[in-house]
Amino acid sequence: MSFDIAVMQIFNGVSLFTILLLMSIGLAIVFGLMGVINMAHGELMALGAYMTYVAAKMFERFAPGWMDIYLFVAIPFAFLVTFAVGYLLERCFIRFFYNRPLDTLLATWGLSLMLQQAYRTIFGAQEVSVPLPQWLAGAWEPVVGIQLPLTRIFIVGLTALVAAGVYVLLYQTRWGLKVRAVMQNRQIAGAVGIDTHRVDSLTLALGSGLAGIAGCVFTMIGSTNPGTGQLYIVDSFIVVVFGGVQSLVGTALSGFAIAQSQTWLEFLMSGSMAKATILVLVIVVLYFRPNGLFSTRSRI
């Protein structure tokens, strides 16, 4: 294998890792904090993709001269819409299923089917795509033979900014301290005056907003349809469980390992065989470490 092919394969793995990370961080926070198995998380990603499509259409109609910057409006727009939807879902639906994980799984799975049907009704069953700004067209060629798409470079940079923002929010702010306190011991956190229900609502909303950003990113590399969210939801759950439910660092590291492994295995064999091989490896690892590779130690 030549050096340029190896570099491009590694970069493709990093690109897949960025989407898995954006999806998995939200799942890891919600699952670790509330124990909620949110099967509708993929549909929130699809919602973010559709909001990006709506933003692009609005710019095409009312401000065609500003199409080169529409992404900088679409990204926060997708985040805010999915944040609000996630907040409403927690307040009006998911909170009634706490401490009932199997019921939560079935309820959110039914919710995902309802959201998919809503997307078909509103946007149609056909795939939709968004135009790329001119400055994202083409590729960067650092050396002869190695071409890195500008869209992928932008996605990597955006993911790095989002991950840094989540880290600062969780580890450098008062609200993040409350989230980590509730995640470690809900009863004690409530006893010292933390409003655990409000923390739950805002945390699920944050996870939903991150899924919306993942959906916005997805529009840069593929078309969107009502079943788009199902493409990544299983992989995202595997990343969270493999890394350790309550470990954000473990989620990031396992996401990178799985993305790189999948990219290289798809290069060497078919896509279905690559996914099956990764699943077998994850099962073997979880057999010996059922709490994940980077599980958080606790006295409970």
- Give tens-digit pLDDT for 184-234: 788 888 888 888 888 888 988 999 999 999 999 889 888 899 988 888 788
Question: What pLDDT, in 10s, does the model give residues 75-134?
Answer: 999 999 999 999 999 888 888 877 777 788 888 899 999 999 999 999 988 899 898 888
Max Cα-Cα span within the chain: 62
Neighbours of 89 (CB within 10 A): 21
Distance CA 158, CA 164 (A): 10
Rounded to an integer, the average pLDDT of 139-165 is: 86
Alpha carbon distance 69, 30 (integer Å): 32
pLDDT of residue 58: 93
Residue 39 or residue 5, greater confidence: 39
- CA gap 16, 263 in Å, rounded: 8
Residue linked to tokens 């590291």: 253
* pLDDT score for 168: 92
Task: Label each residue of 109-173 as H, E or C.
Answer: HHHHHHHHHHHHHHHCCCCECCCCCHHHCCEEEEECCEEEEHHHHHHHHHHHHHHHHHHHHHHCC
pLDDT at position 46 is: 93
Residue 246 above 70 pLDDT? no
d(CA 214, CA 208): 10
**Does the global pTM surpass 0.85?**
yes
Per-residue confidence (pLDDT) for residue 144, from 0 to 100: 74
Q: Are 154 and 220 in contact (CB under 8 A)?
A: yes
Q: pLDDT for 25-81, tens place per residue?
A: 888 887 766 777 888 889 999 999 999 999 999 999 898 889 889 999 999 999 999
Q: What are phi and psi of 232, to 5 degrees?
A: -120, -10
For residues 286 and 40, give the distance between their C-alpha atoms in angstroms, rounded to a whole number: 24
What is the structure's pLDDT at 300?
A: 44
Cα 48 vs. chain centroid, distance in angstroms? 11
Q: Which two tokens stand for residue 100?
A: 């009932």
Termini Cα distance of the chain: 50
How distant is the alpha carbon of residue 85 from its chain centre? 16
pLDDT for 55 equals 94
Q: Is the pLDDT of residue 298 over 50?
A: no
Return the axis-axis angle of helices 174-184 and 196-218, rounded to nearest 10°: 110
| Model confidence band, residue 295 (pLDDT cutoffs 50, 70, 90) | low
Q: Tell me the per-residue pLDDT of 253-292, one tens digit each, with 9 for 90 and over.
A: 888 888 888 888 888 877 778 878 888 888 888 778 777 7
Locate 59 and state its tokens: 């710019």
